[in-house]
Amino acid sequence: MTYAAPIHEMRFVLDAIADLPAIAGLPGYEEATPDLVSAILEEAGKLAGEVIAPLNHPGDREGSVFENGVVRTPDGFQEAYRQFVEGGWNALPFDTDFGGQGLPWCLATAVQEMWQAANLSFGLCPLLTAGAVELLQAHGNDRQKTDYLAKMISGEWTGTMNLTEPQAGSDVGALKTKAVPNGDHYLITGQKIFITWGEHDCADNIVHMVLARLPDAPEGTRGISLFLVPKFVVNEDGTLGPHNDLRCVSLEHKLGINASPTAVMSYGDSGGAVGYLVGAENQGMACMFTMMNNARLAVGLQGVAIAERAYQQARAYAFERVQSKAIDGGKESVKIIRHPDVRRMLATMKARTEAARALAYLAAAALDRAKREPDDAERAAAQARLDLLIPLTKAWCTDMGCEVASLGVQVHGGMGFIEETGAAQHFRDARILPIYEGTNGIQALDLLGRKLLRDKGAAMTQLILELRAGLPEDEGLRAPLAAAIATLDETTAWLLDKGAQDIKRGAAAATPYQSLTASVLGAWLLARSAVEAAKGDDKAFAAAKLKTARFYADNLLGEVAGLSEAVTRGAESTLAFEDNDF
């Protein structure tokens, strides 16, 4: 089955949750008129559904191939990427000074969901390029911006993120890649692994953002610098010069995203790859966090996208697969959509996906406000909200993507376990999402340490106040939501006290706390969606929104109480194990 972008749903969430009409009124976003937004969503949906999505299953079977030092993407990828670039799709949210279209990030987020849902392997290429562009816009010098930004914003050149090394993993501070000053540049030597789209045949140049250590730099993350290392060195006149001293050593053989070339990259085998310092020396992690935060939000969106794709396929299968008689009687076998447990699974998929989409678009709206609000205090408040939402979006939406993709396999029954149906691919592709761009456990530690303990709960307290102020009148939603918000408030207070006293205890409780917070926020966003939908003329759509919100409140929100117990009581039993007990 192919993919059809849920444009009506996306537009609703953009308007009702992200408040795109208000964002379009911010300085620099005036071009985002309702007519332009509709046209962009429609045209993106066509490219995603008609060009990119049909490559998903064949690309998974064929995979990207590494032969004789050359990486070839699957059949059709080069042409699809060419259409993507010619359509200007990569440029949507970027500054007009370098060829961007200057449109809101929340609109670009909806469009990006289409690429990821259509073909997660394909969508990873522009995802990383967008993060690299954000990094250069924030930290690059004038020469770097002049030489690289226009081509990267157009998508003619792509970008990568080079953090991980074989001996270091998520411990970035243990990296060993070296950078030695050499005139107006540096010579980079070392090896990086897990480099998404690190080498490929879809673009003329690849711009690697590489973390490395200068001679005599401090140990750990305090001694890391960031370097721009192009595949082809750029000449003074902007043309491409010689091939840099870097190469792809191999491609990883993975569980999923097989069409995405995940490269092992070697730098400096012949003396040193030419690299250019981005930002200040030993400030590489601070610079890289610009790209990482952009990518974390985008990866959270990937969770939404793969859930949508899995839900669409499971729903279609449930309406066509005939099996067993209806449980309430009848002589004929019925389509499995008639079976209550199948309906429960589909309702779970639908509710989880819609809640996660609302969370991702809400975070993108906070990004827009953090960039464009004219008032300093409002910009700072939006940034604080964004900082809080990024780990929640990355972790919860990707966990949810795995859950929904797994349910998609279950709806298909035995056929879901068969590769030809495509349901298994969604599950395999989804499994990387809780791992890369910082494992979800790292997101939980970020939420605890940098977002909760650092400001003594100020940002979270403000969020809880807004949740309480926005409770719906519908009693079927109001009562369970009020109870869940109270649980979140009490659990937050406990963690602020105990987590500050004993960081190991706090760390052991961080993941269930993260899940608890996101679950409450997801339920609240569905309730808010129901309220906003009731204001419109589409009564069937409004009724479905209310049913979805009530289903979540009745069937899924109960997890909050158990998660609270895991936070407040679970750490002690977790930490009670001795090493030999495992």
CB 187 within 8 A of CB 273: yes
CB 23 within 8 A of CB 29: yes
DSSP for residue 220: G
Contacts of 568 (CB under 8 A, 6+ apart): 491, 494, 498, 509
Burial of 504 (0-12, 13-18, 19+ CB in 10 A): exposed
- N residues, the chain: 582
Residue 2, both tokens: 């192919």
Q: What is the DSSP string of 280-328?
A: STT-HHHHHHHHHHHHHHHHHHHHHHHHHHHHHHHHHHHHH-EEEE-TT
Of 136, 116, 134, which Cα lies nearest the Cα of 125? 116
* Catalytic one of 113, 165, 308, 437: 437
Of 50, 122, 56, 75, which Cα lies nearest the Cα of 425? 56
DSSP H/E element including 355: helix 340-372
CB 381 within 8 A of CB 458: no
Residue where the block lists tokens 């924030």: 138
Active site residue 437: yes
Burial of 320 (0-12, 13-18, 19+ CB in 10 A): exposed
Q: Cα separation of 58 and 225, whole Å?
A: 40
Three-state DSSP class for 162?
A: strand
CB atoms within 10 A of CB 328: 7
Q: Cα separation of 436 and 329, whole Å?
A: 48
Q: Cα separation of 180 and 63, whole Å?
A: 37
Q: Cα separation of 284 and 224, whole Å?
A: 5
Angle ∠(39,360,79) on CA atoms, nearest 5: 50
Three-state DSSP class for 24?
A: coil
Active site amino acids: 437
